[in-house]
Amino acid sequence: MISAHRIHAEQSSKRRTFLVLVVVALLFAGLASATTGYVVILKNGQRIRARKAYEIKGNQAWITLITGTVTSIPLKMVDVVATERYNRLGFGSALTVDGIVTNRPQPTPTPVVPLGSIASIQPRGRSSILGSAIPPTPTPTPGIKLQKNPYANRKVDAAFQRIFDAQHLYLYRTSAGTRPDYYFVQAITDSEQQVFHAIKVVANAYTLIHKLHPELAPKAVELAMQTTAGKPAGTFRISLAQAQELASGKMGVAQFYVSNVIF
């Protein structure tokens, strides 16, 4: 016969084992919830864990916290580029968001000459007044990247480059895009301000060239940005409609970045 004392001891042992398993399961569940979701990175370096991506409404960023509480902060406090890089590339590869400098002030870009005169494209057979295209560095990598061959229409390429220079976008290279009728720009951007400036300048140039010479303008402009350290800062395929919205101010650059960035 098994004694009552022994039966009671076995039951107590099973209960303790069950409780330990429950505690371990809860701990793992807590760790899982802490490493999933969305992380909003502020310009002061602070990180806010959220259940999902924040929403932009006006000049505010609305964030649903892990607790379920919905709060808002000024959009200018959010490091949009670092946040999108961190979340789209994955927590492992982007655990330290390096290569993005957010505390260095950048001058406000202003056009120095009328863009209409800059973008004038001379008829075939006449000498171009737009300068010469700079041959891009070859790369064997397919996709939205710098290609081996330059854009087919050198005068259109030169027009883009003159507008870029006039609007103070200096660190860039150009080539053909992923299709013959796509134009590609690679820009070096080391801060959120430089990223937004590059997007706006490219949109301005595309819009103006299409306005002046719609028959010569590319079907889309592909833009790939990276830091001087080689870290990706955002890739885009910009349609004419998107460029026009950005150039006219109907869509903010931050909203465009969050909605359309490809990493």
pLDDT digits (tens, 9 = 90+) for 172-190: 999 999 999 999 999 999 9
- At residue 88 the predicted structure's pLDDT band, cuts being 50, 70 and 90, is confident
The pLDDT of residue 37: 82
- Determine which of 5-14, 68-77, 94-103, 247-256 has the lowest per-residue pLDDT on average: 94-103
- Structural tokens at position 171: 């660190």
Same CATH topology for 16-78 and 115-120+129-260?
no
| Greatest mean pLDDT range, 10-19, 37-46, 61-70, 239-248 | 239-248
Per CATH, the number for 115-120+129-260 is: 3.30.300
The pLDDT of residue 94: 34
**Amino acid (1-letter code) at residue 202:** V
DSSP 162: H
Across-strand partners of 243?
none
In angstroms, rounded to a whole number, what is the distance separating the alpha carbons of residues 144 and 59?
31
Per CATH, the number for 16-78 is: 2.30.30
Percent of all residues in the chain with a pLDDT value above 90, rounded to a whole number: 60
- Structural tokens at position 189: 């951007």
Q: In this predicted model, what pLDDT tens digit does every residue of 29-48 receive, in sequence order?
A: 444 444 458 999 999 989 99
* Residue ranges per structural domain of the chain: 16-78, 115-120+129-260
On the question of pLDDT at 229 being above 50, the answer is yes
| Biggest distance spanned by C-alpha atoms of the chain | 111
Q: Which of 212, 200, 210 is nearest to 251 (CA)?
A: 200
Stretch 59-64: mean pLDDT = 95
Cβ neighbours for 8, distance < 8 A, ≥ 6 positions apart: none
Stretch 76-84: mean pLDDT = 94
Across-strand partners of 113?
none
CA angle 172, 177, 178 (to 5 degrees): 140
With H, G, I as helix, E, B as strand and everything else as coil, classify residue 194: helix
Stretch 154-168: mean pLDDT = 95
Q: Are 129 and 86 in contact (CB under 8 A)?
A: no
Distance of CA 71 to the CA centre of its chain: 24
In angstroms, rounded to a whole number, what is the distance separating the alpha carbons of residues 163 and 247?
13
Q: In this predicted model, what pLDDT tens digit does every residue of 191-225 receive, in sequence order?
A: 999 999 999 999 999 999 999 999 999 999 999 99
- Structural tokens at position 175: 């080539």
In angstroms, rounded to a whole number, what is the distance separating the alpha carbons of residues 207 and 244?
6
Cβ neighbours for 20, distance < 8 A, ≥ 6 positions apart: none
The pLDDT of residue 131: 37
